[in-house]
Chain A
Amino acid sequence: MKGSQAMARKRPVLGNDPFQRGAAVRPEAEAARKKTEPAKRGAAPEPKKGGRKRAAKQPAAEQAVAKQAVATEPVAEKPAAKKPAAKKPAAKKPAAKRPAAKRPATKKTRTAAPPELAAPPPAEAAERSTRSTARPADLLPADAGAEERRPAVVAVEPIAPAPDHERPLRIHPTALDALEAAATAVAGVLRLPGSPTALGVDEFGRDPGFEEQVRPLLEWIYERWFRVVAHGFDALPRDVPLVLVANRAGALPWDSLILSLAARRAGLEVRPLVEDSIFHFPSMGLLINRLGAVRACPENAERILGDGGAVAVFPEGATGFGKPYRERYRLQRFGRGGFLRLALRMEALVVPVSIVGSEEIYPLLGKVGVRPFGFPFLPITPTFPWLGLAGLLPLPSRWHIDVGEPFDFRAYGTQAAQDEPLVMRLAEEVRGTVQHLLDARLGQRRSVFR
């Protein structure tokens, strides 16, 4: 929190220019940060946001504006989730229910307090009108700051429409294909006789041949097990290095695999960076390495970005997958801002990504302080270790991957990577945005499995 206050103070000094690309995101992040920050900011409102704020200042006009904005927006973008008819009652419910459910648990930190208040999710256009009308009654009395936050809600509306791509899938594997691929994967990792010799491995350890063989399994898990819905990959630029920043969960790196698969389906090669405790875990580390994961270290990331590639980072690191179940989707500290320093140095865009669903696959009930094979803890879930290896089967939650508008920090210059306060402030901004994407999707979700 201290960091974010410092950030708030610094803001006007550092200026807005670099945000031209991500301009729409910023107010949103701002809103998210305000929520996380109980202390009122005395700073003057930001110039950029000011215009929109003023326009929406009067509560009466405000709702109208909100509705208008929704109406003028291409609403058709969100076919999957809700039909217009059922919209109101269905949408209202989570908004009303969640505060009751969430607040008590997270009151102390306040990080979680008003997720619904957050600026509306970019992908949530259809629902927005109902939610914004419901909100003042429910929540405005709760705290005075709400009034000030509301404009941010309106301000965000023109944000990237995040087209939903229902592109034809390249592989529709049957369960049988998946089984066969699973057998190949096991044979390959254990190097059983008969498994092919890995001659085409690249210098980071990825084996395209092996990957191709295991693909049906991954696709099956993607389509049938997690039923992944990916939003917004198509909008990403292809000609710049990208740093995708996502939330991390689960002792097994399913999120890395699924995220890179989702990106690949949109024609984007993303190499997930994986922390040591997973990367050097016997067999598992080997498996994900052959499937494209790279050990998380600056040298590796720089090399990939230097070649114009994309990496996915999970800055929560080990604390991310060590979160107890009740703290799911509450982002932990984002390391020491290393990913941001990296992006600044390599002139890469920072893409906030939220993965909803991943934090329910292994509900972490407890941790035992032994370190099996260098893993930081022995996880206790409802199924593990009670069911042995079968307990490692992830619960089949439905996954939503939301890609936010990229942040373009390139105008700061590469030497800004040494500017510690700036790095921490920007990192916090990215964190706020990811948290916001998470909250938005969670607010929309009706069940873990749907």
Chain B
Amino acid sequence: MATRTGAGPGGGDGRGMPQSIAIVGSHGLLGRRLAQRLAADPAVARIVAIDLRPPEEPLPKVVFHRIDLTRPSADQEIADILLVERCAALVHLAFFGEPIPNASYAHELEVIGTLHVLTAATAAKVERLVMRSTTAVYGAHPKNPSLIREDQRTRGAPSSRFVGDKLEAEREVRRFAEEHPEVAVAILRFAPILGPGARNLISRYLSQGVAPTLAGFDPLMQAVHPEDAVDALLAAIRLGAAGVFNVAGAGVLPISAALRLRGTRAVPLPHRLAEAALRAMRGVGLGYALPASMLDYLRYPVVTDIALAKETLGFKPKHSTLEAVQAIDQPGSEAEAR
């Protein structure tokens, strides 16, 4: 998926917002915010929200369909909806922000669910597909350059099912993009989404009061504010962009500085000890947010280059990484968080 075209080959009459847009995973933070923004766009006539749970507050133009992505018939059901609602664009956001206890369900939802979405997209001849991915798929590897470009190999985290599922789902979408050149497929790899309303692995890690770190290491991190993330999604939908794009806020922050900003006490441990401690805590049922298999992310940086998104999507982050970290738990976000 090396294509870096600005406007996709599909997209019907070229650029511009499609009239009808489907959002799979509309109940998540990004889904809610995206639906709000799309509802405010006069060019959009209809927003099809697909999720297990309906939106809390009714929005104009939004039609909700309850679909369980893990059901074998999900692809047919989605395809039917897409055809009936004449959706030209599909935004796939149905991914977990943090590991859930039932890892096999997560796998079903993220990987099999993605396959269902892709099948439905093929059946319904969707012209634009935007998928949410994460920069974690690059993997925390000692050979990472300071700024990772989109063409770098995605190494993932070998022993982490959480990252592995994301990577597998993304690979399916990349394969789909190769097989369906007529569809404009954009994969947005988001840095950890931090800010008002964001509840995920990283926000929890940063706000948990006490956080393990690895002694002698303090990698840099990036974060993206939900508002910027939604901006990038909107741009990708509007332009019918094709390709993979890193999306992150401006600037970087050492993890130690992020912890301090959150008032969290860092406990530096040697790698082995930290691993043992995290496993023990999980075994006892304390369920600390950070899985031991992701400790490498506290050791090597995963910092991405967002030049391509800037150039192709016109993405301009309004918030820096620092601001995103500071905006976790910001007041005024409570309404959205619910």
Contacts and interface: CB of A to CB of B under 8 A. Distances in A.
Interface string B136-166: 0000001101110100000000000000000
B303 A203 contact: yes
B147 A203 contact: yes
Nearest to B148: A299
Interface string A166-207: 000000000000000000000001110000011101111101
Nearest to A190: B268
Nearest to B216: A282
A173 B115 CA distance: 64
A191 B256 contact: yes
Nearest to B265: A193
A300 B146 contact: yes
Contacts of A134: none
Chain A, interface residues (CB within 8 Å), range: 20 to 34
Given A191-B218, A191-B268, A300-B145, A280 B253 contact: no
A203 to B, nearest CB: 5
Contact of B257 (A201, A282, A295): A201
A313 B260 CA distance: 34
A276 interface: yes
A158 to B, nearest CB: 41
Interface string A273-299: 000100011111110000000110101
Nearest to A295: B146
B97 interface: no
A286 B216 contact: yes
B121 interface: no
B145 A201 contact: no
Contact of A299 (B149, B268, B322): B149
Nearest to A301: B145
Given A191-B268, A203-B147, A198 B217 contact: no
Contact of A297 (B143, B218, B261): B143
Contacts of B266: 191
A58 to B, nearest CB: 57
Nearest to B250: A203
B146 A197 contact: no
Interface in A364-398: 373
B216 A202 contact: no
A202 B253 CA distance: 8
Interface string A70-83: 00000000000000
B216 A203 contact: no
Contacts of A284: 216
Chain B, interface residues (CB within 8 Å), range: 20 to 34
A303 interface: yes
B319 to A, nearest CB: 15
A203 B146 contact: yes
B190 interface: no
B95 interface: no
B99 interface: no
A281 B216 CA distance: 8
Nearest to B271: A282
Given A190-B268, A286-B216, A201 B143 contact: no
Contacts of A297: 143, 145
Given A191-B218, A283-B216, A286-B217, A205 B146 contact: yes
B63 interface: no
Given A199-B322, A282-B215, A286-B218, A299 B145 contact: yes
Interface in B10-41: none
B216 to A, nearest CB: 3
Interface string A255-275: 000000000000000000000
Contacts of A283: 215-216
B300 interface: yes
Nearest to B214: A282
A191 B215 CA distance: 10
A199 B259 CA distance: 11
Contact of B143 (A190, A202, A207, A276): A276
Pick from B146, B300, B303 the residue with the most CB of A within 10 Å: B146
B252 interface: yes
A203 B303 CA distance: 8
Given A191-B256, A191-B266, A191-B268, A201 B220 contact: yes
B254 interface: yes
A291 B252 CA distance: 16
Contacts of B268: 190-191
Contacts of A205: 146, 220, 254, 301
Given A201-B220, A286-B217, A303 B146 contact: yes
A287 to B, nearest CB: 10
Interface in A41-92: none
B264 to A, nearest CB: 12
Given A191-B256, A191-B268, A199-B322, A299 B218 contact: no
Contacts of A202: 252
Contacts of B143: 276, 297
For the complex of A and B, the 9 pairs showing the least CB-CB separation, nearest first, are: A282-B216, A299-B145, A283-B216, A197-B260, A198-B257, A204-B146, A191-B256, A197-B257, A300-B146
Given A276-B143, A373-B216, 6 more contacts: A199-B253, A201-B257, A202-B252, A282-B215, A286-B216, A295-B146
10 contacts: A198-B257, A203-B252, A205-B220, A281-B216, A284-B216, A286-B216, A286-B218, A294-B146, A299-B146, A300-B146
